[in-house]
Amino acid sequence: MIKGNALLFKRNISTQNAWALWLCQILTLSLLINELTGWMLAIIALCLCWRTLVFIKPTQKPHRILLLLIACSGCIAIAITGKQLGVLLSMLHLLCFAYALKSLEMNSRKDFYQIILLGIFILASVLIFSQSLLISLFVFCLLVLNLSILLAYFYPTTNIKKPLIKSTNMVLQSIPLAIVLFIFFPRLAPFWEVPSSKSAQTGLSESVTPGAIANLARSSALAFRVKFLTDIPQYNQLYWRAMVMDDFDGRTWKQSKNSHGFNRGKRNKLSGDIPKLIGDKTQYQVMLEPSYQHWLFSLAVVDKNQLVSNQVDTLTLSNYTIKSRKPISQTSSYEVTSFTDSLLNSPLSFDERRTNLHIPSDNNPRLKAEGRRLQLKYTDDIERAQAILDIIREDDYHYTLTPPLLSGNGAGHELDQFFYESKKGFCVHYASVFTFIMRASGTPARLVTGYLGGEYNKQSGHLSIYQYDAHAWSEIWVNDKGWVRVDPTAAVDPERVESGLSDTIQQEGLFNNDLLSLYRYKHLAWINSLRLQLDALDYQWTRLVLSYSSKKQYDLVTQWFGHFKSWKIGGIIGGALILMMTIMWLVNIKKLKKKSLDKWLIQYQQVLTILKNKGLEKPITMPASQFSIVVSQHFPLLNSKFSAYSQCFEALMYQELSTAHREQRLNEMNQYHQQIIKQLKKV
């Protein structure tokens, strides 16, 4: 039996199929190029190249011992670098290594099965790193390719095309049940802790140093999407808070320890004092792209009790930001309700006041002096802030994404240099200077970073916030109002705050990360509409599939079927299963029936109807041969042809003919048919 299988194997895996498998392997592994290390990619490339050699000369198969040696050394290499790579990436390396190496060792059917399943598993693990629509579609296509290679093994053709069509067909037939399962199958909580992917962090950085970067390289990558359930606020109100930076060391803004820690006493959390929520509520769902950071985005002030998420373990902080306990490593969503009219007035503790007033000594002396001057001139905090904004507005300040470097004429003078000399900068510069002056004048102030605005997509009605929407602004403490937002950028470039970066500034900030991005060609109308369409599609994917959760499942079931009961779920899934099988059954029966209704049968019926119209009807019980005699009596012209025609019909109908015979009969029948039709027309 085993021998027979081996024989079957050699016969069935045709060269074309083997090439298809090879191609499939390359495509699968290419999806992981960003995750795999260079040396692993080199080994994989070597294995796959060797495979092509085996195609050309089957004798060049590597020796078993050599293979074993390569396998062992590869495993050792992975084990050594394991610490550096982390558990998840190590496992991924091991999988990919096995997948590439396995292609050199395909001796039996078992090996073939293994390589297919391994390939599908690697495809699944690609989805750990990215779940975008594009990648998912690509993974789907590769799944179909894998399956058709498997199918080709049982298929009698050497050509991959037919199995490809067949397996696509079968996968498409499986989709309805898969969707039902996806919607209704109980969603479980994670069974155990799994290693998460640790990619390079993207998006906002955890500290801001004005003047350190001359060129703000901004990317047009998506940061997050927002779907508003209530009215969308004005563009200039969309200040997406991420981090509050209140710790200033003279050069760099950071979050102070007690504001961004997780569990440092109740004092830091809102749980102690729930802010008064007033005004209209703004409800929205945020769909985050993986940033590998903890920061979540929201509009102030968030209602802690209406913050819902299945994918993110959220935490509300006292500085009116929210964050996740774990880094965001995959597209995830959460629902927020904000009261944008509420005041950020939870009482300021002594420690907080000190932190928010702190300026290192002998730091930026000119600004310090300016602060002191304004402190004497304006006693009211708001008036003083307005005065600083007036200076920025009226003086010769420029908003640019490519400001000069601030060397600082010695340490701790960068802000002085910007404010009095270069006068060119972007949001961080203006917000830093403003916050500094306010602190120098005795008002607690801090820097807030996040995103401003977002692009509204008309087609799906959602807001997309890109990395280039990143922004920094200030907050000052006003005694009876709490923290008041002041955006100095509005003073220098109102357009940025009202509707986003202007075109000239966009051209300035080189999107050098993504040369191929459609965003670069935004000025071409059709490309822009295409871009928005793709964005809408991806948004729907994110909304419907990626952010589907047990809560949504619960809502859906209660909405459609009333109370949520487990037997209902069982019934729905069982029903869907039976329905699918019944449909397939019926389709098959219909197909078989349709197949039996052949052309010759239809032709014969056609002739009968013509004769009927001419007044000669065939009684149902009369055999065809007998009827041909009747016809010959009525139409002597048809005599010989019709009897031969009837003979053919009877042979096809009642005799079990061999294939060749049948073909011959069919041909004859067809010829007679044409002639009879012609003659009947003349009659």
Partner 1 sequence: MTTFLIPIKSIISRFIKRRFNRWLKRRIPPASKHTLSNRNIFIMPTRFGYAYLIFVVLLFLLATNYQNNVIMLLSYLMASLFITTMMHSFYNLSGIVLSADNKAAGYAKHNISFPINIISPNKRVDLRFCFDSQQPTHLPKTVKGDQTVYVSCHYENRGVYLPGRLKVSSEYSFGLFITWTRIDFDHQCSVYPEAITLNNNQNSFTGSSENSAALDESFLEYKPGTDDFFELKSHVLGEPLSRIAWKQFARGQGLLTKHYQKQEGTIRWLKLTDMPNHGLEKQLQYLCFLVNEHNYAGQIFGLDLGNREIKPAQGDQHFKRCLLELAVFKGPQA
Residues engaged in binding partner 1 (CB under 8 A) = 4, 8, 109, 113, 117, 120-121, 123-125, 127-128, 131, 136, 139, 143, 147, 150-151, 153-156, 166, 170-171, 173-179, 181-182, 185, 187-192, 194, 196, 310-311, 330, 332, 545-548, 577, 580-581, 584-585, 588, 592, 595-596, 656-659, 662
Closest contact distance (angstroms) between CB of 102 and partner 1 is: 15
Residue placing its CB nearer to partner 1 in the complex, 534 or 577: 577
542-555 in b/e burial notation, b at 16+ Cβ within 10 A?
bbeebbbbeebbee
Q: Whose structure tokens read 């594009």?
A: 134
- The three-point CA angle 436-437-442 to 5° equals 100
Closest contact distance (angstroms) between CB of 565 and partner 1 is: 21
- Bridge partners for 451 per DSSP: 240, 470
Closest contact distance (angstroms) between CB of 532 and partner 1 is: 23
Closest contact distance (angstroms) between CB of 588 and partner 1 is: 5
Residue placing its CB nearer to partner 1 in the complex, 123 or 491: 123
Residue placing its CB nearer to partner 1 in the complex, 54 or 127: 127
Residue placing its CB nearer to partner 1 in the complex, 533 or 588: 588
Residue placing its CB nearer to partner 1 in the complex, 183 or 610: 183
Judge contact between 610 and 683, C-beta under 8 A. no
Closest contact distance (angstroms) between CB of 652 and partner 1 is: 11
Structure-token pair, residue 429: 């510069």
Residue placing its CB nearer to partner 1 in the complex, 155 or 645: 155
Q: Are strands 222-228 and 239-245 parallel, antiparallel or unpaired?
A: unpaired
User: How many angstroms separate the CA atoms of 282 and 338, rounded?
Assistant: 5
Closest contact distance (angstroms) between CB of 186 and partner 1 is: 10
**Phi, psi for 476 (deg, rounded to 5):** -120, 150
Residue placing its CB nearer to partner 1 in the complex, 34 or 659: 659
User: How many angstroms separate the CA atoms of 424 and 654, rounded?
Assistant: 95
Residue placing its CB nearer to partner 1 in the complex, 123 or 388: 123
Judge contact between 148 and 164, C-beta under 8 A. yes
Judge contact between 331 and 131, C-beta under 8 A. yes
CA dihedral 53, 54, 55, 57 (to 10 degrees): 90
HSE (side-chain half, CA atoms, 13 Å) at 390:
7
Closest contact distance (angstroms) between CB of 482 and partner 1 is: 37
Closest contact distance (angstroms) between CB of 34 and partner 1 is: 17
Q: Whose structure tokens read 């913050």?
A: 307
Residue placing its CB nearer to partner 1 in the complex, 162 or 281: 162
Cα dihedral across residues 226, 230, 231, 234: positive or negative: negative
Closest contact distance (angstroms) between CB of 468 and partner 1 is: 27
Closest contact distance (angstroms) between CB of 35 and partner 1 is: 15
Closest contact distance (angstroms) between CB of 493 and partner 1 is: 40
Structure-token pair, residue 617: 């009807």
Structure-token pair, residue 662: 């049948």
DSSP one-letter string for 201-231: --SS-SEE-TTS-SS------EEEEEEESSP
Structure-token pair, residue 189: 């909580």
Helices (H), 215-345: 257-260
Residue placing its CB nearer to partner 1 in the complex, 42 or 179: 179
Residue placing its CB nearer to partner 1 in the complex, 59 or 659: 659
Judge contact between 288 and 314, C-beta under 8 A. no
User: How many angstroms separate the CA atoms of 624 and 646, rounded?
Assistant: 6
Closest contact distance (angstroms) between CB of 657 and partner 1 is: 8
- The three-point CA angle 55-59-64 to 5° equals 105
Closest contact distance (angstroms) between CB of 681 and partner 1 is: 33
User: How many angstroms separate the CA atoms of 567 and 573, rounded?
Assistant: 10
Judge contact between 357 and 440, C-beta under 8 A. no
Residue placing its CB nearer to partner 1 in the complex, 9 or 378: 9
CA nearest to 489, candidates 449, 443, 442: 449
Enclosing H/E stretch for 561: helix 550-561
Residue placing its CB nearer to partner 1 in the complex, 365 or 574: 574
